[in-house]
Structure 1
Amino acid sequence: MKEWAFAIPDAENTVRIMEEAPCLIAVLNTNQKTPFEGIENEKRIVEICDSLSIGAAIENMILTATEHGLGTLWIANTCFAYKELVDFIKTDNQLTGIVAVGFANEAPAKRPRKPFTDIVEYR
């Protein structure tokens, strides 16, 4: 994916975090296979709905881990080593992400957020 070369530093940082984390949770969509092959429109709709549910489940895992004093990172850029990762975890299900869990060694300031009025439209 030559057009993604700009993202290599981010991917390298992800690898570092994955190496340092004491726990990695691979999140799979058991209804789908690789995202690199075409599928019919009906299956694509199911895949999108599954992805929304999986995202909500990941957010709940992260919130729960935070409540217990753990640090987390939601790793969504698994595409750079997709084949290697699914081979490593020995699955043919769709890898949708990884959650790194451990004890945080930093407490970064909250990222700036857009004002609610800039992202919500009332009709």
Structure 2
Amino acid sequence: MNIGKLSKYFLSLAIALATISSFHAISVNAASVGTIKPSECSTHILTVYDETVGIGGSGRAHFYCGSINGGPQIEFSDDDLEVAVDDPFILHAYPNPSMNSVDYEGRQKGDAEVTIYWKNKPEGTKYTFLLVQIK
């Protein structure tokens, strides 16, 4: 593993730890069930996702406002977010509004970081990061 990939791992880990530790100090201004738009989420958008996919395999990420346990699921359209992958030769990622998810497909063995930018989020963190391993 080269230094660049190692630093990406540590950066992603630091962001995840900061998100988790700051979560306890933030209250959610939304209902604890159902779905909400990104523009209605005044706190962090957290994710549950498949961290490992095979070559030719697929994965999916779902997003929640404030908490993955009981927080409302984020309902979005193509206009609400931008999805980027640090190495598109390894992983192809794209929004899937009909499932309220970002879906991705493994192309080559390696590690890829997916960045989701929430265009219409009024406050708080506007980025969500996924670190996906392709085996």
State the TM-score, normalizing by the size of structure 1. 0.34
Q: Which has the higher contact order (CA 8 A, sep 6+)?
A: 1
State the TM-score, normalizing by the size of structure 2. 0.32
Higher CA-based Rg? 1
